[in-house]
Amino acid sequence: MAEKGALLPAYLIVGPDELKRKQSVARLRARVDGPFAMFNLEEVTVTADLEPAELLSSLNTLPMGAERRVVVLEATDRLAKPISETLVDYLADPNTSCTLALVTPSLAKSTRLYKAFAGVGPRSVIECAAKKGRDLPPYVQKLAASHGVSIGYEAARELLARVGDSTTMLDTQIKALAALLGGSGTITPEFVAANVARVAEVKPWEFLDCLCSRDAHRALALYRLLDGSAIGLLSLVTGRLRELVCARSLDARGSAALLAEELGKQDWQVKNHVRWARGFARGELEALLCECARVERALKSGAEPKDEMVRLIARVCGAH
CA dihedral over 282, 283, 284, 285, signed as positive or negative:
positive
Tell me: the pLDDT tens digits for 240-293? Answer: 999 999 999 999 999 999 999 999 998 888 999 999 999 999 999 999 999 999
Is the model's pLDDT at 4 over the cut of 70?
A: no
Question: Is the pTM of the predicted complex or chain greater than 0.75?
Answer: no
Q: What is the pLDDT of residues 156-167, one digit of tens each?
A: 989 998 998 889
Average pLDDT, the chain: 92
Q: What is the pLDDT of residues 183-237, one digit of tens each?
A: 999 999 999 999 998 888 888 988 999 999 999 998 998 898 888 899 999 999 9
pLDDT of residue 5: 55
> What pLDDT shows up at residue 320?
67
122 has a pLDDT exceeding 80: yes
What does the pLDDT read at residue 2? Answer: 45
